[in-house]
A = this chain, B = another copy of it.
Amino acid sequence: MQARLQRQQAQSDARRAGVLDAARAVFEQLGIEGASIREIARQAGYTPGAIYSYFESKEAIYGALLAESLERLNASVDAAGHTALAPAEQLDAKASAWFGFYAANPRDLDLGFYLVQGMRPRGLTAELNDQLNDRLHDALQPCEVALQAMGLGAQEALRENTALFAHGVGLLLLQHTGRIRMFGQDASLLFENYLITLVERLQSGHRPD
């Protein structure tokens, strides 16, 4: 009995995952704005109505995809570095982890950028939006901890972490849109440079107040 329920649940989960896979593919092919329930259903091998057995709405699909992406991001960050590392090395490891995740997975970047799509949070319920924000914060937190371990106060660490995040985001955006090749540069190298310079600056004691 229990076994049957489990089997059903597993089957249901697998089918839901199938829809999610189709959605990911459609988003990739048509862009997130261009994706439609019809097309997602088609690629998942369903009629449109069937999608609503698994997701309440189009936005819910996007939300599920983004949530899962953020889980993978956090997994990457968690796996990077270790406590035995010197703070500067830990900073480098953690920052490189989140940056590298998005550099290597442009679709996850699409997903993330869409969250702020049209430069406006939208579509998701406030609650889900907050959850997703929290998970993003989680991925960035280790860098802030490392910055504090390097001697910065809470305020300074927050400021540097924000700047670091912005720098990475800008580079990813440029790279992803092809603008950075235009500049004849490599985003990952530039990010590494930023990190090196940052560590140097912090260790030399030259800090803006």
Contact = CB atoms under 8 A, between A and B. Distances in A.
Interface of A: 31-34, 106, 109-110, 113-122, 133, 137, 158-159, 161-163, 165-171, 173-174, 176-180, 182-185, 187, 190, 193-194, 196-197, 200-201, 204, 206, 208
Contact of A118 (B114, B119, B165): B114
A166 B190 contact: yes
Contacts of A169: 169-170, 173-174
Contacts of A180: 162, 166
Contacts of A121: 177-178
Contact of A158 (B106, B116, B185, B187): B185
Contacts of A194: 163
B114 A177 contact: no
Given A119-B173, A167-B170, A174-B169, A183 B208 contact: no
A161 B185 CA distance: 11
A201 B206 CA distance: 10
B31 A177 contact: no
Q: Which 9 pairs between the two chains have the least Cβ-Cβ distance?
A: A170-B170, A166-B170, A31-B118, A116-B177, A169-B170, A162-B183, A166-B171, A119-B176, A162-B185
